[in-house]
Copies of this chain bind each other. A is one copy, B any other.
């Protein structure tokens, strides 16, 4: 008996691709093989994921010349130096322009392997095989790839779409609770951006998700990917509306950089960032206090942090936020909320309100 699975599509013209979601998909070589043009494959994974899932993946790729490169695990390794390990492996094993990279792991592996694929020989194909909730619902979809700079998150990168995404939801069985919760932050984000019904559903089902109810998780992943695929299809290179996906991220990136990469998980920083965005929106009278409270409460129930670390001063946060990619000629651009499911990109940020929000002064 073969497990059933769902397939969504990211519609990007010639760069369109499927997202397969279901249990035990890593062992289904046919899904992978149909997106591998040449004879060479380089699997990029990390030392946590590889012992668990490299072997089933390799079984499905029999007949290809498969090499692999195993990276250290953690956001602190999402660097140009680690990227070089991937290039070294590709060169040492003489991979040519027809090779395909497979990113097997979480967001760090996916972003880094995708960027390596964007640059190796000026661009080769790659496949995302995300093994964390965060990667399955967010980072594996949409083609944003890159590495961090010591002074700013994701500052070096490329847009490079994968050929397909294979989200094997059974890999979540081995995910630790902290990682699961971090992924839920991005799931909740989709409800907040433009899917209020999904936010309602999440309020009703957050306990099932935390208890790893398989049906609830599968539904949340599908709906998140559907939401993301729609937003990406409308604005692939983030000329406009795609920036909504950065809800909570300008705050969150400042936290991640400020406390040192790898100390807070990305999803944890985004959770706090979304609460700060809601509080700022509320302080500017854009968001009702009750709705702001719902945002904070759901994230708290998901076991996520909702306040910045005390050692990070408001002034330092502000300084780090000013470095973010969303900052342009017109000053700081933030994603704020007019309601749950009504996010918008704005440059109309009241400096005093932002400062008070970061200082944690009562409204």
- A interface list, Cβ under 8 A from B: 38-39, 80, 83-84, 87-88, 91-92, 94, 96-98, 118-123, 144, 146, 149-152, 155-159, 322-323, 325, 327-329
A98 to chain B, nearest CB (A): 5
**Are A323's CB and B119's CB within 8 A?**
no
Copy number in this complex?
2
Contact partner of A328 among B80, B92, B98, B323, CB < 8 A? B98
CB distance from A84 to the nearest CB of B (A): 6
Residue pair B91, A80 in contact (C-beta under 8 Å): no
Q: Which 7 A-B pairs have the closest CB atoms?
A: A91-B151, A98-B329, A121-B325, A122-B157, A119-B156, A96-B327, A38-B329
A328 close to B97 (CB less than 8 A): yes
Interchain CB contact under 8 A, A329 and B158 = no
Q: Which residues of B contact A91 (CB under 8 A)?
A: 149-152, 155, 323
Instruction: Using CB atoms, name the residue of chain B closest to A145.
Output: B122
* CA distance in complex: A119, B116 (Å): 12
Residue numbers in B under 8 Å from A146 (CB-CB): 119, 122
Supposing A38-B329, A80-B80 touch, asked if A322 and B94 sit within 8 A by C-beta, the answer is yes
Contacts of A144 in B (CB 8 A): 122
The residues of B that contact A121 with a CB separation of less than 8 Å are 155, 157, 325
Closest to A91 in B: B151
| Chain B residues, Cβ within 8 Å of A325 | 96-97, 121-122
Smallest CB–CB gap between A139 and chain B, Å? 14
Chain B residues positioned under 8 Å from A152 (CB to CB): 91
Q: Which B residue's beta carbon lies closest to that of A79?
A: B84
Complex-state Cα separation, A176 to B121, whole angstroms: 32
